[in-house]
Structure 1
Amino acid sequence: MPTGVAIRDVREQLFDAAEKVLLRAGPSALTSRSVTAEAGCAKGVLHRHFADFDDFLAAFVLDRSGRMNARTAALRESAGTGTVADNLTGALTALFESVAVAVVALVSFRDELRSRLRQTWPAGVPVLTEAATMIADYLAAEQAVGRLAVDADVETLAAMLIGTGHLLYADRRGARPPTDAVRRMVGNVLASAGPAPRD
């Protein structure tokens, strides 16, 4: 792209480019050059908006984590409708077929990125931490309408669902698990908490 040509929503354009590179080729392929090439802009554009590449990556990870808000609202609104297992299966499938798994690999891959994130994100991995909160909020809503046992520990269940879901999807280059496998995992985790919820 020629110098002097304005780029609209440059941060979002760079974040979208980073997501494409990350999903296509993994964290080792994510460089300032690969991101700006994917975005169709000069390398200097990224450095005009961010202190360095790890500053860019930290902003990218937090941006993708912030997108969980809309998913959280939609999942909470589904409480009391459909089945608990189907609602969770849909939410987990959408989560893990997004950039979430790749973000975990990215954060694990780059020490400096982890250090930057710790300045604003004290524990856990962004995106997955937000997802665990989303699932726990949904399970609490199902408890409130009587479809989940009152004594179920929703935070532990949420962590189990996220952790087990991540294991199902962790092989980025492998085939995605079938929906039935995700639903079976959800049913097993919910059953481990005590009586099966009544749909």
Structure 2
Amino acid sequence: MPTGVALQDPRRQLFDAAVRVLTRDGVTGLTSRAVTTEAGVAKGVLHRHFADFDDFLTALVLDRIARVEAQATALRDAAGTGTVADNLTGALMTLFEPVMVAIVVLVIARDELRTRLRAAGTARFPLVGEGATMIAGYLTAERDHGRISSEADIDTLAPTLIGAAHLLYTERQDSPPEPAAVRRVVTTVLASAVP
């Protein structure tokens, strides 16, 4: 590897490389050597910015959680516009994009990663839990707009939507489900909640 070349954003470069390795080679192919090779940097670069590989993976997941939190803000801001089903379909399709599904598998596979994420204050099931919180916040905002029934059990609807969508995405090996399939899940789960 070349030396003496300044990296503009080494953390982002390593995160992007890890995502490529993870989506291409799966959890078993994701090693510190694979990440640094993919990033085109010396192995020491990863250890200069992170205490160890699990510290790196924790930062990677926290970066993805920050994206979910930004998505949650945008989704809440969309309350009262478009249709509830379309807004939720779009949100779920963004949430369960291939990288997110691969990272959820990574979190499940690595005990130390889950331990560190919990210590960092993530949901009990990182990314999926934050996704459920995002959906609950949106449904609450839509209830305030009168587009979700005031009797709707949001604390049940949100994880039901997340669980059903997660299963829909993890059942697909080669390609994500069609938007119509995601929308069908959304409209089925929300059938009794939409006035």
TM-score range, shorter chain: over 0.9
Residue in 2 that maps onto 1:51: 51
Aligned residue number for residue 135 of structure 2:
135
**Are the counterparts in 1 of residues 98 and 176 from structure 2 also a CA contact under 8 Å?**
no
Which string of whole-angstrom CA distances, capped at 9 and with x for unpartnered residues, describes residues 101-153 of structure 1?
11110011112212222211364222222111111111001000100000112
- Structure 1 residues without counterparts, runs of 5 or longer: none
Post-superposition offset of 1:84: 0.6
User: CA–CA distance in 1 between the matches of 2:118 and 2:161?
Assistant: 24
Indicate the residue corresponding to 2:120 in structure 1.
120
* TM-score (normalizing by structure 2): 0.94
Equivalent residues of 2:131, 2:162 under 8 A apart: yes
Could you say what the CA RMSD is over the residues aligned between the two structures, in angstroms? Answer: 1.5
Show the counterpart of 1:165: 165
- State how far apart, in whole Å, the 2-side matches of 1:85 and 1:155 are: 18
Contact 1:100 1:128 in 2 (8 A): no
Q: Classify the secondary structure of the residue corresponding to 1:133.
A: helix
- Report the AA paired with residue 165 of structure 1: A
- Aligned-residue identity in percent: 62
Over 3 Å counting, the alpha-carbon distance change for 1:69 and 1:115 in structure 2 is closer
SS state of the match for residue 85, structure 2?
A: helix
Are the equivalent residues in 1 in contact too, given 2:118–2:124 (CA < 8 A)?
Answer: no
Q: What CA deviation, in whole Å up to 9, does each residue of 1:1-49 have, x standing for no partner?
A: 3122211111111111111111122111110011111111011100111
**Is structure 2 residue 194 aligned with structure 1 residue 197?**
yes
Query: What code does the residue aligned with 2:43 have?
Result: K
In the other structure, the counterpart of 1:42 is: 42
Gaps of 5+ in 2: none
The aligned amino acid for 2:86 is D
Q: Which residue of 2 aligns with 1:61?
A: 61
Q: Aligned in 2, Cα 1:121/1:161: closer, same or farther, shift over 3 Å?
A: same
Moved more, 25-34 or 112-121: 112-121
> 1:93 corresponds to which residue?
93
How many residue pairs match? The answer is: 195
Q: Which residue of 1 aligns with 2:149?
A: 149
* Further displaced range: 181-190 or 125-134: 125-134
- Counterpart residue identity of residue 68, structure 2: M
Contact 2:123 2:130 in 1 (8 A): no
Query: In the aligned structure 1, how far is the partner of 2:186 from the partner of 2:110?
Result: 31
Deviations 1:57-83 (A, max 9, x none): 111111111112321121112111111
Matched AA of 1:180: A
